[in-house]
A and B are shown apart, each in its own frame.
Chain A
C-alpha cells in the first residue's frame, strides 16, 4: 500500500549539495511529517517530488509514485501528474493566490486542465469544494477575489484547490506558519479530516514539533539535507535513539527561566491609555476611517519583573510597544516610568527615553546592513546628555559584547556575517548599552529556530540579573510566555481582557478567549517530555 517511495534522492543546485541520499516511504492515507530547521532542505524535498526545481539543479535517485519513476519522467508527463495526482499547499496565503483572478476561477483551473468538462460543471464542483473546506459558497462566493478574504480563508481556498481533483498525495509546506494560533488549529483540523475522508496521503513539512505531534502518523527528521531519524511519530520521540531527535525535543520545550522573586517597587505604570489610529487625511476618499487600536489600557511592571503580553496579530500589541517607547502620541492616559511622566501628547525627553529600549522580531531588518556592529551598538549613545569620549565608548562596547557572549572582533563585522541567533544577541547589546531599566522584547524569539531559543532565554535571564532589567515580553507563543514571564496580559482588539500571574492564567483562564487560545496552541505530549527527563 505504499504510495510514494523515495530512494537515494540527491539534489545539487548550482553545484551545491542540498539533499543527500534521502530515503522515505509514504503509505496511502498516511500523514507523514517532515521536520527540520530552516534551510535543512525540507522545502527542496517537496520541490523535488513535484520537480518544480530552480534552474541549474541536478536531481539523482528515484521517486516512485505508484511504480512510476518521477525523476525519469518527461516534463509533459509531470504536467499531467501535478495537480491531478500530487498537489501542493504553500506557506504564504497572502501571495500564493493570483490577486487578479477570482477564487472560483483559480480553483476550477486544475479541473478544466485535467478533465474534459464544461465550465458550468466545473463551477458546481468548485462550490462543493468550497463547502468541504468550510467556506459557505453563499457567503464566500466563488466570484470573490483573494483580497476580499482573510489569511485563514485564503488558506482554505488553497486547500480546496489542492483537494479538488482528489489527488493521491498532498504536499503541505508549512501550511499554518503564517497564521494565528487559533486559525492554525482550525486549518490543521480541516486538513486532517479531509485527507482521512478521501484517503489522501499528506506530506506535512514543518519546523514545529507541536504540529507534528498533533497530526503526523510518521515522521522524518531532516538536518543539512540528510534524514537523521524516521519512523512512527510516537516511537521516534519516545525511543529517542538519535542525539539530534533528543535535541529537537528538548529544544522545543522552552526552559523555565522566570525570575522567582521580584521586588514590589513599580517601574512602569501605564494608566488608562487610549489611542485611535488616524488614517491619512484625504479629500479623495471622503470620510476618515478611525479604528481604535488601544482602549483604556492600564497595567504596571515591577522592577526586575518579566511581564508577558499575548495577543493575535493586529490586536494592538505593537502600538502599545511604540507608545511605551514614546514614538506614538496618545489620545488620553498617562505612562509613568520611575515616577517621571513618559508620554501623553508631547514627545518625551531623551533622558526618559534612554531608560527604555526595544528588541525586534526580525533579526534581519533590525540593523542597517551598511553599518558595522560597533556603530550599530553605539547608536543609543545618542540619547545621553553627556557624550562619552572614545576610550569610554570602546570600553563599554567591549563590556557589552562579552555580556551577550560574542567576541570583541565581532564589533568590526557587518550584520550579514552573523546568524539569526547572533543577531538577536547584537540587538540585545544595542538595547542594554546605555543601561536602560526596561526592555521591550517584541516577538524577539519568534523568528528563531527552536535550537537557538533556549540559549537566548537563559541569556535574557542572566542580563536581567546583571543589569537590573525588567522586560515586557510580547509574544504569541504561550509556551515561551510560560517559560519566561511572571505575570501576563492577554490582549484582544485593543483591550486587555485578562491580567494576572502567568501560571494561574495558563492553568485556569477565566476568559473564554484565553481558554480557546491556550487550547489552540499545539503542544508536545507529556509522555514524550517525561521520557526526555527520565533519560537525561
Chain B
C-alpha cells in the first residue's frame, strides 16, 4: 500500500522536474567521473593527432590543435563549471540569506536600509568587473573566479530572501511566536526559513545556471580557469581562430554549456511547479 502511494506521488511530479533532473544529473555524474577517469590525459600534448574530426574511433569528439581529446576536455569542463557555479552560489547563500533575513526582521529601522543600500552598491559591480578587479590585483585563478561570481550572488540572495520573508513577518504566527518568547533567531529558523525555502531552492538553480554562464564567459576572456585545467569557456576561446576550418571545436563546448544551463533551468521550473503552495494543495 505504501508502495502504490509512492508511485502515485511519483507520477504526479511535474515532467520538467524529471527531464531537468536526468540531464543535469548526467552532467554532474560526468563531472564526477572526470576526477578519477577521462578517456585521454589532456595534459599530454600530441601534435600528431591534432585537429581530428569528430567520430574518430579513438577520439569520439575529435581533437584540438594540440591533439588533446575533446571528450576528455568536455568532461573536465563539466567539473569546472559545476564546481565554480555551485561554490559561488553557496557563497551567495551563506552570506546573502542571513543578510536578507536580518533586513526583513528589522524592516522598521536603519539596519534594513543599510543592508539594502549595501546590496545596491554590490549590484553596481557586474561579476565581470569584480573579476577584473580581483585579477588585476591577485591574478587569474579558479578561486578568484568563485569569489567574483560569489560576491555577485550575495545581493541576489539577500534581496530575494528579504522580499520573500517580509510578508511572512507580518503573519500572525510570527506574532504568536513572539508572544511565546521566541527570539529573532528562533523565529527565523523555525518559522521564516521553512516557509521561504522553496523560493530559495528555485533561486539556487537559477544562480547555478547563471554561474555556469558567467564562468564560461570569464574563462573565455582569460580571467577564469587557467591552463592546463580545462574549461568550456577556455575551449571556446582556443577554438575561435580555427572556427572556419574546425567548427566542431566551437560547437562541442557551446552545446555542452547550453544543454547544462537549459537542464538546470528546466529543473528549476519543475521545482517551482512542485514546490508552489498553490499546486501543492492539489498534490496532497
Q: Quick check: do A and B touch in the complex, using CB within 8 A? A: yes
B172 partner, pick from A280, A282, A356, A365, beta carbons under 8 A? A365
Chain B residues with Cβ below 8 Å from A317 are none
B179 touching A365, Cβ below 8 Å: no
Q: Given the complex, which residues of B lie within 8 Å of A452, measured CB to CB?
A: none
Please tell me if the beta carbons of B182 and A358 are within 8 angstroms of each other in the complex. Answer: no
The answer to whether A353 touches B176 (Cβ under 8 A) is no
| B179 proximity list for chain A (CB < 8 A) | 325, 327, 353, 356-358, 380
B residues 249-284 in Cβ contact with A at 8 Å: 277, 281
Residue of B whose beta carbon sits closest to that of A363: B172
Distance in angstroms between the alpha carbons of A416 and B176 in the assembled complex:
18
Which bucket holds chain B's interface residue count?
20 to 34
Partner of A383, one of B108, B110, B173, B180: B180
Q: How far is the CB of B85 from chain A (nearest CB, A)?
A: 29
> Given A282-B113, A379-B182, is A368 in contact with B172 using a C-beta cutoff of 8 Å?
no
Partner of A416, one of B172, B182, B194, B281: B281
Q: A366-B173, A416-B281 are contacts. A383–B194 as well, Cβ < 8 Å? A: no
Report how far A195 CA is from B175 CA in the complex, Å: 45
A52 to chain B: closest CB distance in Å?
Answer: 21
Contact of A380 among B109, B172, B175, B180 (CB under 8 A): B180
In the bound complex, CA of A365 to CA of B175 (Å): 10
Q: For residue B180, which residues in chain A have a CB less than 8 angstroms away from its CB?
A: 379-380, 382-383
Q: Among B112, B173, B178, point to the contact of A368 (Cβ < 8 A).
A: B173
A-B contacts at CB below 8 angstroms, number: 61
> How far apart sit A463 and B271, CA to CA, in the bound complex (Å)?
45
B194–A368 contact, CB under 8 A? Answer: yes
Say yes or no for B34: interface residue by CB 8 A criterion.
no
Q: Is there an interface contact between B181 and A383, defined as CB atoms closer than 8 Å?
A: yes
**Chain B contacts with A in 195-251, Cβ cutoff 8 A:** 195
Q: In the assembly, what is the distance between CA of A327 and CA of B108, in Å?
A: 14
Closest to A283 in B: B113
Q: By the criterion CB–CB under 8 Å, are A353 and B181 in contact?
A: yes
Which residues on A sit within 8 Å (CB–CB) of B160? Answer: none
B41 is an interface residue with CB less than 8 A from chain A: no
User: Is B190 an interface residue when CB atoms closer than 8 A count as contact?
Assistant: yes
A358 and B181: CB pair below 8 A?
no
A379 neighbours in B (Cβ, 8 Å): 176-177, 180, 182
B171 within 8 A of A: yes
Fill in one digit per residue for B95-113: 1 if any A CB lies within 8 Å of its CB, else 0. 0000000000001111011
B113 cross-chain contacts in A, Cβ below 8 A: 280, 282
Asked if A365 and B181 sit within 8 Å, CB to CB, the answer is no
Nearest-Cβ distance from residue A85 to partner chain B, whole angstroms:
35
Taking chain B's interface residues, is the majority helix, strand, or loop, or is none over half, making it mixed?
A: helix
A180 at the interface (CB under 8 A from B): no
**How many angstroms from the CA of A358 to the CA of B172 in the assembled complex?**
10
Quick one: closest A residue to B284, CB to CB? A416
Given contacts A358-B175, A358-B176, A360-B172, contact A368 B195 (CB under 8 A): yes
In the complex, A367 has a CB within 8 A of chain B: yes
> From residue 166 to 190 of chain B, which have CB atoms closer than 8 A to chain A?
171-173, 175-182, 186, 190
Among the listed B171, B181, B191, which residue makes an inter-chain contact with A382, where contact means beta carbons less than 8 Å apart? B181
Please pick, from B109, B112, B173, B186, the residue contacting A365 in the complex, using a CB distance under 8 A: B173
B194 touches A370 (CB 8 A): yes
Residue of B with least CB distance to A282: B113
Whether the pair B109, A368 counts as a contact (CB closer than 8 A) is no
Known A281-B109, A281-B110; contact A369-B195, beta-carbon cutoff 8 A: yes
A487 at the interface (CB under 8 A from B): no
Interface mask (A338-360 → B, CB under 8 Å = 1, otherwise 0): 00000000000010011011101
Taking the closest CB of chain B, its distance from the CB of A307, in whole angstroms, is 19
Which of A365, A380, A416, A430 counts the most chain B CB atoms within 10 A? A365
Chain B residues whose C-beta falls within 8 Å of the C-beta of A357 in the assembled complex: 179
A132 at the interface (CB under 8 A from B): no
Interface contact B175-A327, CB-CB below 8 Å: yes
Q: Which residues of A contact B277 (CB under 8 A)?
A: 369
In the assembled complex, the Cα of A416 lies from the Cα of B172 at a distance in Å of 15
A365 to B181, CA, bound (A): 19
A229 within 8 A of B: no
Is there an interface contact between A280 and B194, defined as CB atoms closer than 8 Å? no
User: Would you call A493 an interface residue if the criterion is a C-beta within 8 Å of the partner chain's C-beta atoms?
Assistant: no
Chain A proximity of B176: nearest CB distance (Å): 6
* A350-B181 in contact (CB<8A): yes
Which B residues touch A327, using CB under 8 A?
A: 175, 178-179
Contact of A367 among B173, B182, B190 (CB under 8 A): B173
Which residues on A sit within 8 Å (CB–CB) of B186?
A: 382
Residue of B nearest to A326 (CB): B179
CB-defined contacts of B194 to chain A, threshold 8 Å: 368, 370
Which of B109, B112, B175, B186: most chain A CB closer than 10 A?
B175
Closest to A349 in B: B181
Alpha-carbon gap, A360 to B181, bound state (A): 17
A354 to B182, CA, bound (A): 12
A449 within 8 A of B: no
| Across-interface contacts of B281 in A (CB, < 8 A) | 416
Given contacts A350-B181, A353-B181, whether A280 and B195 have CB atoms under 8 Å apart is: no
Q: Are A365 and B108 touching (Cβ within 8 A)?
A: no
**Cα A88 to Cα B109 with chains together (Å):** 42
A410-450 interface code vs B (CB 8 A; 1 in, 0 out)? 00000010000000000000100000000000000000000
Which B residues lie within 8 Å of A383 (CB)? 180-181
A430 to B108, CA, bound (A): 28
Query: Smallest CB–CB gap between A365 and chain B, Å?
Result: 4
A369 to B168, CA, bound (A): 11
Contact A368 B181, CB 8 Å, known A358-B176, A416-B281: no
B residues less than 8 Å from A367 (CB atoms): 173, 176
| A276 smallest CB distance to B (angstroms) | 14
Write the chain B residue with the least CB distance to A357.
B179
CA distance A421 to B3 in the complex (A): 35
Judge whether A362 is part of the interface by a CB distance below 8 angstroms.
yes
Given contacts A350-B181, A383-B181, contact A366 B110 (CB under 8 A): no
11 new A-B contacts, CB < 8 A, other than A358-B175, A362-B172, A365-B171, are A280-B109, A280-B112, A325-B178, A356-B179, A357-B179, A367-B176, A368-B195, A370-B194, A379-B180, A380-B179, A383-B181
Ordered by A's residue number, 13 sampled pairs between the chains whose C-beta atoms are within 8 Å are: A280-B113, A325-B178, A327-B175, A327-B178, A350-B181, A354-B181, A360-B176, A362-B172, A366-B172, A368-B194, A369-B277, A376-B173, A379-B180
Closest 5 CB pairs of A and B: A360-B172, A365-B171, A366-B172, A383-B181, A380-B180
